[in-house]
Chain A
Amino acid sequence: MIDVQRVQALLKNRYPNLESVGQGVFRGVDRFGARDYAIRYFDLNDRLATTVDSLKSYQEEVLSPMYFSSAVATDLRWNHYLYFVTSDEEANKGEFGRLKAKVEADREYARKQVVREGEIADLLADAQVPESLTALPIDLATTWANTLQQHGLAFILDSDVSIPDAVRRIVAGTKDGASRPISPVALLAAEQAAASHFIEHLTIKGFRTHPEEKDHSLGRVNLIVGSNGVGKTSLLEAIEFAYCGKNRRSSTLLNNTSITADLFGVEHKLSSTTDATRLRARHSNWYAKTEVKTVTVQDSFGRFNFLDTDAAVQLSVSTSSVQIGTDVTRLVLGAMAENLADRLRRVLKQLQDELKDLRRDKMSNEQLKLAAQTRLDAIKTAPKLSDSLFLELLAALKGQGWSQPPDEKGQLEALRERLQEATSTIALVRHSSISTLHAEPDSALRLLTKLNDEARKAEALAQRAKAARLAQANARREAQEVAELSAATEALLPYARINFPQLVKQASECRDRVRTRNTRLSQVVNLGNASAIQQFLEMPVANAIDLVDTEIEGHQRRHDAAQTALHALEKTQSTMTVLRQRLLGTAQDILQRSGNSDHCPLCRTEFEEGQLLARMMADVAEVTSEQANLLRVNISSASEAMANTRAMLALLRPLHAFVGNSALTVTVAQALEQIAQERTAVDRDQHELDTIQAQALQLQSDGLSSKDLSSKFLTAGITELPALEELQRIQSNHKETLETLQSAEKFALHELDLVRQECDAMAERLSMEALGDTDKLVRLVKELISAAEAALGARQILATILTISNEATAEEIALNLAAIQQLLAQVATAVAQEGANDKALNDETKNVDGLVKKIENSSTKITCASNAELVLKTLAKESSGGELESQILTENAAEIARTFASIHMPNEFEIQIAQGKLVIIRRSTGAEVQLEHMSTGQRAAFALSLFLAMNGRLRSGPPMLLFDDPVAHIDDINVLSFLDHLRQLAIGGSRQIFFATADTKLAGLFRHKFRFLGDEFKELRLSRTS
């Protein structure tokens, strides 16, 4: 049973205006200023089991009058709460858990909660936020910095120093000097005020997507709405920038970025700055953190004021426990801590690698040193051979009679050159055909002179042979030419004998004559019978033609006149015929019309039947044409006369053409006579031509033709055929010349034979083989001379190098020289070997010294590095074990648990501290639950709890809470809890809240929950166009 009196008293205490709205049901209204913001119903009937089944109607009955009342703001509809207070006896019944879950999951009308009687006091106290620890939680970076400082390793955390650089410094054992004392920098008035005042007005200029100036009026709670990408996060980051001068999320800043915050009730404005001193001062005063180098105030701001949404989201969705640990660390210690831990781990890793390398180096150096020592000893014990070999060499040289033996081993190179020279000269001497080794200068000179004489003789022989060959060749060529000429002349003889050109000329003359006459006669060739022109015989031809022409004209005229007359006559006749026909028609007509057809109407005469008509017809037909016939006769006679005359003219015209210009004088008879004469002449010439052509045909069959003749002229070199005698004379001349030339050739051949004999004799004398070739002889002799000269020169050079003993042969000397060369090589090898040994000795000694130094160096480094490794290992272990994190979590466990409980429904989990660590306990089983086994929504709620707890610790810094779409993955009921929690914070007034979201539903709920603040609630609607 519930102690209704006591609970009612508690309620009355909390809500002085508590109303009873039904049996055992009370209503309390939460007010803020002049506005209600929540309506809470408390059911003390302890009849949950029966109420559940009719929950809807129960609510409609109890809640609806106020819910639908037009007197209350509609926002309150989303701020109804219904608490079913339950006694412990009820709560212990088996069904209770299910009932509770069912009731609390119902989303109509009011947020419902089933509370035990004992919990009611806590629930009512909920409004008061307990004062948490005043000091800020410890900070990883500071702790580590201190530890490292003690070991002089502070530079490891300095981000200016690269990791390999840091490792080098550790190994080198470089210690940091004493840390600079940090003189605290005072805050400006605005900065001081910023730690405790809200922003009233935010002016953004040149930040990211805000190139122009933007002005935002802000309230205690600010909802920033807009779809993705319109600048919600940028707005939050502008606030971050105003405080920190930089952003965690890297951003490109415009040159003129400036953000100014008007603080509520404060005269000075807080302006963004990038001045490191100012930021350092802010950092140290707001977040109690001193730093020497990089300013990381934005990291602390993020840790306390600006929910790291990425970490929160990752914490809720990641599946690996390692990643979850990292995310919790990031939330609790800040993003910087993660970087630092990461850096530390990397330094440690590299240091360990380095240490391994150093140790391996040291080991290998020691091995190297040992090997070098061994080699050194071996060199020291090596023998020396060069001296004895050199003595041997000197003895050999002496034996050979060397003129300038070397004094010391250093001259071996010169000796080798001379020896080489001697070897080559002796080779020359050996290969010379003339033995010159022991020749004296005089005899050698004689030998040379003799050889030169022989050479001159041979040259003379060669000259003679050449001249003879030339003479023979000339004679033979000329003889051939003459023989050809003679043959050509011989061929002309038949032509000369028959006088061929004369014959050709006659034939062509005769042909011309015949052609001329034929041309003349062709004009009169058709001249027929001349009897028609007998009358004109005595008349000149021209006159006859004129006469005939005149006659033709007369006939023509007559013919034309007759023709004209005939035409006229015919026309008249046809007219008459027509008229007659007409007359006939008329008459017939008249006859028909008159009564009696046999009665002439003109003369009244009476005819027999049909006679009158017959007469009329006969009369008309009776016309004749005598005159026409006469005229036709006339025309035909004129035509006949004209034809006769034209025939005469046709005979006369050729005659006129034949006689030509003399037509005026020559009579027709004469002309005829001339024609007859011409014809006779033609016949005669034709006959002659035929004779000549027959003769030519005969000659052609004998092989004589004018074409052949002209080619023979070309061969014989003459233009026209001379007379026969002349031709015969020329022919005999040719024969004489030929004989002379043939004898000259014979003489030349004889001379050649002589020369060859002499040549062979000479070759035999010089014991060579020339085979009669004089040129070869000359060449061989010259070779002999040069060989002798070379051998003699070589012998002279050899004499300067060594003394040639009389018994020695060239072969012997060559063998000795080869032996000496071999010996020399041995000496040189020995000398080189000894030099190398000396150098190696030096090197090895130095090597050993160097290695000893290196080993010492390594040892020092290893000591330094091992020490540092120890320190870093401790820190790393601390970090991965999460000691700091646990410490912070433990410190804040109460606050985290409280927040978690208030923003997480149903209360499935409980946060406790066990063995100095924060653990999450499942209420139903009492077993510990790892984060990765919780749902994403629960983890998201946990992340928010962590952040809100951290923020709760902040007293000295800006009183801000910045959320950027924080409730992904949280289910709707828990979103409501979270918003209620925020509302509680807002009412408390210690925090200015900025809440950005793209979710219109969430924005709507937020509006319903916070609009009661009136002017202190601001909604910033961002859109692309604005």
Chain B
Amino acid sequence: MLFLLAQLKTVACRDNRDVEQTSLCLGETVYAFNRGINSMSLISIICSDAFDFTEHIDAIHSNCLLIHIQLNPKPAHTDYAAYRTRLCSVGTNSHVELLCLNWAKNIQEVKAAGKYADWNNVAGSAWYAPPAKFSADDGHIDSLHRGGLYYCLLAQRWHSFFLNYEGQIIQLQKQKLLFPGEQALAPKNFVAIEERWSWNPGSTSWNSGAVANDGFADALAGYHAISEHLHLASQASPLAVERAIEILMGPGGNPASWYTVKELDAVHLDKDEESIRRVTVNQDPDLTRPGSAYRLQRLQRAHDAIMLAQNEVPWPPPVQDLANGFKLSWKRNSPHHNVEPNAGGRGPASLVYLSDQANNSAVESTHQKLRKALVTHAVNEACVAGKTGEEMSNAIVRAQDRLCIVFRRDNHFGARGPEGTNLIDTPASESPVDFSEDRS
């Protein structure tokens, strides 16, 4: 069979045999059609044309959907990433979306003598959207996840929706690129999946309704302590799993809102290679990429944390029940708690396992941060429930109980519990920020 591939390009792409560099006749003219003011447009960039696209960016990038077609083992290559970075800074406020299409996975290259070489490539097809187009609703992200679109955050708060690598058919509902004039109701959904079909080799037909395989189950295979319940949890909500592990690592961001999607560390793409860091998304076969390393570290930490119950951890008295075993769990109504003890009925707790990579000040600052978050949440809840006086005080005092930072030093475990809150001559202040006090 003879394939004839015709590419019309203005820039040559580099490959190991420099086919394009040596043989391609380069085009000289870029034709742009239908560029009316305030009208939508569709632009197609083929492969390495993106490298030479910078001089057109300012002129073309408004009100347009860019389709960037590539065949590339590394779609997140530095040069392409630079192009997207440029695009992000230019297109943020001008209705630009980028649909980047790379080949699906399992590409095999024909070698001499009937041999094939596996590309072992990253598919990396993704739909990029500017910040204002998507509201990052938890349920929506989880439902896209099931349908095979994995949400991450690109640089400059751009949203990216990575396509599942498998062969599939997806029926999307996509919001219009541009709404001229005012909208009465403007839900920021960007894209929704209506139906998904997957190929059934047995019956050689497309089956509808299949949940996309995010690879998490396979990734968990090595971590028997967590595999079962985390897999279950991820089926309920992949984001909840990300959050439970995020606390376990010691939450970054603002103590009160670290758990919102945009502040979750795992949701941000790796800065250097744009690789996905979410533990619940495992499509990347190359384990040396930064995203993979990040994921593995988190899974390992989660696994180790569960094993703490079987170790000599000096559990602080208020969380003594964790010694009897617990599992990772995150619920929206108690957003700063990440573990659920197996027994005891004292409810969820916050557990941070800093392993042996934390000094005293890191332990202390993590503790302070979480304590503040817990108390603030308790105060808000109590206020909403209309509680005052003693009830409020009870809520505040108890909120600080269920918090424990575990670390390991000199092969011994240490734990930072509610120190300083159990002193008989130090009253529980009403709030860490002490807004009640009149300091005038």
Interface residues of B in 421-440 (CB under 8 A from A): 422-430, 434, 437-440
For B423, the chain A residues whose CB sits under 8 A away are: 107-108
* Residue interface mask A96-134, B partner, CB < 8 A = 1: 000000000001111100000000000000000000000
Among A227, A976, A1007, A1023, the residue within 8 A (CB) of B425 is A976
Distance of A73 Cα from B394 Cα, bound (Å): 7
Contact of A975 with B by CB under 8 A: yes
Contact of A75 with B393 at beta-carbon distance under 8 Å, contacts A64-B317, A67-B317, A68-B318 already known: yes
Distance of A67 Cα from B401 Cα, bound (Å): 11
By secondary structure, the B interface counts as: loop
Distance of A916 Cα from B327 Cα, bound (Å): 73
Among A65, A976, A1024, the residue within 8 A (CB) of B438 is A1024
> Once the chains bind, are A64 and B394 in contact (CB under 8 Å)?
no
Comparing A803-811, A883-891, A998-1006, the segment that makes contact with chain B is A998-1006
> Once the chains bind, are A64 and B397 in contact (CB under 8 Å)?
no
> Once the chains bind, are A68 and B427 in contact (CB under 8 Å)?
no
For A80, the chain B residues whose CB sits under 8 A away are: 424
> Once the chains bind, are B424 and A107 in contact (CB under 8 Å)?
yes
Contact of A1008 with B by CB under 8 A: yes
- Name the CB-closest residue of B to A63: B317
> Once the chains bind, are B437 and A74 in contact (CB under 8 Å)?
no
For A60, the chain B residues whose CB sits under 8 A away are: 316-317
Contact of A68 with B317 at beta-carbon distance under 8 Å, contacts A107-B423, A973-B425 already known: yes
> Once the chains bind, are B390 and A111 in contact (CB under 8 Å)?
no
> Once the chains bind, are A74 and B397 in contact (CB under 8 Å)?
yes
By secondary structure, the A interface counts as: helix
Contact of A230 with B by CB under 8 A: yes
Contact of B86 with A by CB under 8 A: no
Distance of A60 Cα from B415 Cα, bound (Å): 14
Interface residues of A in 969-990 (CB under 8 A from B): 972-973, 975-976
Distance of A640 from chain B, by nearest CB (Å): 101
Distance of A111 Cα from B425 Cα, bound (Å): 9
For A77, the chain B residues whose CB sits under 8 A away are: 397, 422
For B424, the chain A residues whose CB sits under 8 A away are: 78, 80, 107-111, 976
Contact of A1023 with B438 at beta-carbon distance under 8 Å, contacts A74-B398, A107-B423 already known: yes
Contact of A75 with B390 at beta-carbon distance under 8 Å, contacts A70-B346, A80-B424, A1001-B427 already known: yes
- Name the CB-closest residue of B to A1008: B427
Distance of B227 from chain A, by nearest CB (Å): 32
- Name the CB-closest residue of B to A110: B424
Distance of A80 Cα from B424 Cα, bound (Å): 8
Distance of A634 Cα from B367 Cα, bound (Å): 139
* Residue interface mask A48-88, B partner, CB < 8 A = 1: 00000000000010001101101001110110100000000
Distance of A78 Cα from B437 Cα, bound (Å): 22
> Once the chains bind, are B390 and A73 in contact (CB under 8 Å)?
yes
Distance of A78 Cα from B317 Cα, bound (Å): 17
> Once the chains bind, are A74 and B317 in contact (CB under 8 Å)?
no
> Once the chains bind, are B425 and A107 in contact (CB under 8 Å)?
yes
For A65, the chain B residues whose CB sits under 8 A away are: 317
Give the A-B pair count, Cβ closer than 8 A.
73
Distance of A972 Cα from B424 Cα, bound (Å): 9
Contact of B320 with A by CB under 8 A: yes
For B430, the chain A residues whose CB sits under 8 A away are: 1004
Q: Which one of A80, A110, A975, A1004 has the greatest number of beta carbons of chain B within 10 Å?
A: A1004
Contact of A334 with B by CB under 8 A: no
Interface residues of A in 920-949 (CB under 8 A from B): none
For B426, the chain A residues whose CB sits under 8 A away are: 107, 1001
Contact of A137 with B by CB under 8 A: no
Interface residues of A in 275-303 (CB under 8 A from B): none
- Name the CB-closest residue of A to B437: A1000
Among A110, A1007, A1024, the residue within 8 A (CB) of B427 is A1007
- Name the CB-closest residue of A to B319: A68
Contact of A208 with B by CB under 8 A: no
Distance of B388 from chain A, by nearest CB (Å): 11
Among B316, B427, B440, the residue within 8 A (CB) of A1004 is B427
Contact of A1004 with B425 at beta-carbon distance under 8 Å, contacts A70-B398, A74-B394, A1024-B440 already known: no
Among A64, A73, A227, A1003, the residue within 8 A (CB) of B440 is A227
Distance of A57 from chain B, by nearest CB (Å): 9
Contact of A169 with B by CB under 8 A: no
Contact of A1011 with B by CB under 8 A: yes
- Name the CB-closest residue of A to B345: A70
> Once the chains bind, are A68 and B401 in contact (CB under 8 Å)?
yes
Distance of A628 Cα from B68 Cα, bound (Å): 108
> Once the chains bind, are A1004 and B428 in contact (CB under 8 Å)?
yes
Interface residues of B in 47-70 (CB under 8 A from A): none
- Name the CB-closest residue of B to A109: B422
Distance of A137 from chain B, by nearest CB (Å): 34
Contact of A245 with B by CB under 8 A: no
Distance of A230 Cα from B440 Cα, bound (Å): 10
- Name the CB-closest residue of B to A226: B438
Q: Which one of A74, A111, A1001 has the greatest number of beta carbons of chain B within 10 Å?
A: A74
Distance of A847 Cα from B267 Cα, bound (Å): 120
Distance of A81 from chain B, by nearest CB (Å): 9
Distance of B233 from chain A, by nearest CB (Å): 26
For B398, the chain A residues whose CB sits under 8 A away are: 70, 74
Distance of B400 from chain A, by nearest CB (Å): 10
> Once the chains bind, are B393 and A1005 in contact (CB under 8 Å)?
no
For B427, the chain A residues whose CB sits under 8 A away are: 78, 1001, 1003-1005, 1007-1008
> Once the chains bind, are B439 and A227 in contact (CB under 8 Å)?
yes
Distance of B375 from chain A, by nearest CB (Å): 13
For B390, the chain A residues whose CB sits under 8 A away are: 73, 75, 1011
Interface residues of A in 675-711 (CB under 8 A from B): none
- Name the CB-closest residue of B to A229: B440
* Residue interface mask A993-1026, B partner, CB < 8 A = 1: 0000000110111011001000000000001110
Distance of A230 Cα from B423 Cα, bound (Å): 30
Distance of A793 Cα from B316 Cα, bound (Å): 146
- Name the CB-closest residue of B to A1004: B427
For B316, the chain A residues whose CB sits under 8 A away are: 60
Distance of A107 Cα from B390 Cα, bound (Å): 23
Distance of A497 Cα from B426 Cα, bound (Å): 153
Distance of A227 Cα from B394 Cα, bound (Å): 25
For B438, the chain A residues whose CB sits under 8 A away are: 226-227, 230, 1023-1025
> Once the chains bind, are A1000 and B429 in contact (CB under 8 Å)?
yes
For B346, the chain A residues whose CB sits under 8 A away are: 70
Among A64, A75, A111, the residue within 8 A (CB) of B318 is A64
For A109, the chain B residues whose CB sits under 8 A away are: 422, 424
- Name the CB-closest residue of B to A972: B425
* Residue interface mask B208-226, A partner, CB < 8 A = 1: 0000000000000000000
Distance of B264 from chain A, by nearest CB (Å): 30
For A226, the chain B residues whose CB sits under 8 A away are: 438
* Residue interface mask B316-336, A partner, CB < 8 A = 1: 111010000000000000000
For A1003, the chain B residues whose CB sits under 8 A away are: 427
For A1001, the chain B residues whose CB sits under 8 A away are: 426-427
* Residue interface mask B380-396, A partner, CB < 8 A = 1: 00000000011001100
Distance of A53 Cα from B237 Cα, bound (Å): 48
Distance of A751 Cα from B65 Cα, bound (Å): 161
- Name the CB-closest residue of B to A1006: B427
Distance of A82 from chain B, by nearest CB (Å): 10
Among A74, A107, A230, A1024, the residue within 8 A (CB) of B393 is A74
Distance of A111 Cα from B320 Cα, bound (Å): 23
> Once the chains bind, are A1005 and B318 in contact (CB under 8 Å)?
no
Distance of A68 Cα from B394 Cα, bound (Å): 11
Provide a sorted-by-A list of 9 A–B residue pairs whose CB atoms are within 8 angstroms.
Answer: A64-B318, A73-B390, A75-B393, A107-B425, A109-B424, A227-B437, A1000-B429, A1004-B430, A1005-B425
Give the 8 A-B CB pairs with smallest separation, nearest first. A1004-B427, A64-B317, A972-B425, A74-B397, A1023-B438, A68-B318, A60-B317, A74-B394
Extra 13 A-B pairs, beta carbons < 8 Å, given A107-B424, A1003-B427, A1007-B393: A60-B317, A65-B317, A68-B401, A70-B398, A74-B397, A75-B393, A107-B426, A227-B440, A976-B425, A1000-B429, A1001-B427, A1004-B427, A1011-B390
